[in-house]
Amino acid sequence: MTWELDGNTFESHLLLGTARYPSLTTMSDAITASDTEIITVSLRRESSNGQFGEAFWNHIKQHDVHILPNTAGCMSAKEAITTALMAREVFDTHWIKLEVIGNDHTLQPNPFELVSAAEELSRQGFAVFPYTTDDLIVCEKLMEVGCHVLMPWGAPIGSGKGLMNPYALRTLRSHFPNVPLIVDAGIGAPSHACQAMELGFDGILLNTAVAQANDPVAMAAAFKHAIEAGRTGYQAGILPEQDFAQASTPELGKPFWHE
């Protein structure tokens, strides 16, 4: 079940966020339970002063994971580029989860600013992980400007609505057969993650559904198993839907009687 991302091979298909946990210990335990190999970290949290910021980073260092800094909260390409450049220095990585928000209510990405920022950051040597909608044309533009991975939303950030448009996601998978695709945002239940993996997606990035659960550690484990099940099901071959019933027992050899 291994997969490749920017030249690295991973076994886990779960990318986990580090915000909104009730405690740093709970966050750390959830990371362990999830078996994730990639965690997202906000530059704004790491760069905050005080003992909390240092304690947070000490907990992160206990785990053998790749760090994916993000530009959360940025509203323009210029702001996102500046944040990404700072994150590269702080975290010593060329990876960046690019977020350029266009609407405060829906937290929907601004496609114009997103593509602009992705183009500049790709030019400066970043591996850009763009948080985008499921719009095919926007995704094509992101690929054209240098992105090698796409992270379409399932639903708005933190909404927990799951996959609002499975058709669009299925279209992306078909259109980009060799591009790593990660559903980012809107996943609220393990079943949502399983559904995305059954569509053939390569990974799931989530935060709120684990961090805000009654038991974040147990929920992290639940998502781990759901993602594994969805991926295995996709690889095994999901039974296609059809309009009419089809008997599971073959007609051949069916007993009959004459009156």
Q: Compute the distance between CA of residue 3 and CA of residue 9 in angstroms, rounded to an integer.
A: 6
Distance CA 172, CA 140 (A): 10
Distance CA 39, CA 61 (A): 11
Please indicate if the annotation marks 50 as binding a ligand. no
Residue 198 CA to residue 172 CA, distance in Å, equals 14
The number of angstroms, rounded, from the C-alpha of 78 to the middle of its chain's C-alpha atoms is 24
d(Cα 66, Cα 184) in Å, to the nearest integer?
A: 17
**61, 78, 97, 254: the active-site residue:** 97
- From 56, 39, 36, 60, select the one nearest 48 (Cα to Cα): 56
Phi, psi of 175 (to 5 degrees): -75, -30
For residue 154, the SS3 value is: coil
160 annotated as a binding-site residue? no
Q: What burial letters (b/e) apply to 43-73, b meaning 16+ CB within 10 Å? A: beebeeeeeeeeebeebbeeeebebbbbbbe
The reply, when asked if residue 186 is annotated as ligand binding, is yes
Q: Is 78 a catalytic residue?
A: no
Q: Please state, in angstroms and as integers, the Cα–Cα distance from residue 1 to each residue in 127, 170, 181, 202, 228, following that order.
A: 23, 20, 15, 10, 8
| Residue list, annotated binding site for 1-deoxy-D-xylulose 5-phosphate | 158, 185-186, 207-208
Residues known to be catalytic: 97
